[in-house]
Amino acid sequence: METKLLHIFRNTPLGRETLLQSIYFCNITRSSMVIYIPEYTKFLMYFDNDVVQVDLDPSYLLYPETSRTHALDLTKAHGIDASFFEPRQFTASTLPDIPVDFDFMCSPRSISDLSSKISLGHIGTRVRRIIKTAQFPVLLTSPCYKEWTSILVFFGGSVNSVKAVRLGLHISRLTGLPLDLFTQVEGSQTMDDYKDRLKQAGLEADFDKRVRDWKVFADNGFEENLYHVPHQALAVLGAYGHGLVKDILFGSKMEVIQSVLSNNLLIVGPRYSAKG
């Protein structure tokens, strides 16, 4: 089935790097790309049970006369036939509505803050809200264009991490790239417990066929073990996993990963309806 990725284009060098990441993602997953070049600093996304207003950093509106040409040049050069989204629905005259029926969305770590604030350990509030509400996973790109040659899924046994494994397998099927799993053993959990969860989710057969390596760490701290994440891997992980505060916080593991890893992150929120 054809998949679609939404990219909000920023006509700056940082925006070019982000667009290159999207292009690479679309090429390798054979997804089609929908580019939105904003004309206003805010837009609305109406999800199933929430409406998110995204207030963009003003740099998204820079140099509008060259935005489309720049985006077209890059996409054409990489063989992507991107379509440009023109808003038709407006909640208010300066407040367009962006559809949410995409399969992926690409975003830098923050879209509301100045680009100088974008750094490891900082994910903007709007991006967090989109991840929390969206039914699609969000591709958080590394600051510079970086190709990925394998997929690594963080699997801690939670419902969302099972969804992440499912997504990882789906992308591995689409791209033919090898898939690795990363598990930090916690408390009294054993490997059998983790395997059982995958079995219960019906992923056992696909897992045996596609997973190249299951990196299991029982020693050392989680942060220290993140050094073993391959440099050129797309990291797939779930957010808002556990406990009473799951609606407010990403989850401690997720916060550590986004503070330490500079890889491209494909984040699965709680409302993501898993594919594959």
Partner 1 sequence: MKRFISWRVPTKWPVFRLDDRLLLIISGMIVGILSGLAAFALNRSLVFCLDFLHSYRAYWWAFILPAGGAALSSLFLSRVVNEGAGHGIPEVIYAVSRYGGLIRLRSSFSRLVSSCLTIGSGGSAGPEAPVVMSGAAIGSNIARFFSFNDRQRVTLVGCGAAGAISSIFNAPIAGLVFVLEVILGEWSTVNIVPIAVASVAGTEVSRLLAGNQIAFSHHTFHISFHDILACAGLAVVTAFMSVILTRLLRHMHHASDKTKLPIWAKAAVGGCAVGLLGFFVPDVMGEGYHSIRNMIEGVYEQGMTIAVVACFAKVLATSLTLGWGGSGGIFAPSLVVGSFSGLAYHRFLVYFFPSVPWVGEGCYALLGMAGFIGGILQAPLTGIFLIVEITGGYEVILPLIIISSLSATICYYFESASFYMKDLVERGQLLRPGTDARVLSDLSISELLEKDCISVPPSMSLREFVGLITRSRRNYFPVEDPETKEFLGLVKFDDIRPYLFNSMMYDAVFVEQIMDTHVAVARYGEDLSDVLRIMDSRGLFSMPVLANKRFVGMISKATLLDQYRKELMVQTYQG
User: Which residues are near partner 1 by CB under 8 A?
Assistant: 1-2, 4, 30-32, 34, 42, 44, 46, 49-51, 53, 55, 80-81, 83, 88-95, 99, 101
CB of residue 83 vs partner 1: minimum separation in angstroms?
7
Contact predicate 70/11, CB 8 Å: yes
Contact predicate 259/121, CB 8 Å: yes
Instruction: For residue 18, count other CB atoms closer than 10 A to its CB.
Output: 26
Nearer to partner 1, 85 or 145 (CB): 85
CB of residue 46 vs partner 1: minimum separation in angstroms?
5
CA distance 206 to 186: 25
CB of residue 271 vs partner 1: minimum separation in angstroms?
11
CB of residue 185 vs partner 1: minimum separation in angstroms?
27
Alpha carbon 4 to chain centroid, angstroms = 13
CB of residue 127 vs partner 1: minimum separation in angstroms?
16
Nearer to partner 1, 1 or 205 (CB): 1
Contact predicate 143/14, CB 8 Å: yes
CB of residue 151 vs partner 1: minimum separation in angstroms?
22
Nearer to partner 1, 99 or 143 (CB): 99
Contact predicate 75/23, CB 8 Å: yes
CA distance 41 to 56: 5
Q: What does 94-158 look like in DSSP terms, one character per residue?
A: TEEEE----SEEEE-S-SSS-GGG--TT---HHHHHHHHH-SS-EEEPPSS-----EEEEE--SS
Nearer to partner 1, 46 or 214 (CB): 46
Nearer to partner 1, 47 or 214 (CB): 47
Nearer to partner 1, 49 or 273 (CB): 49
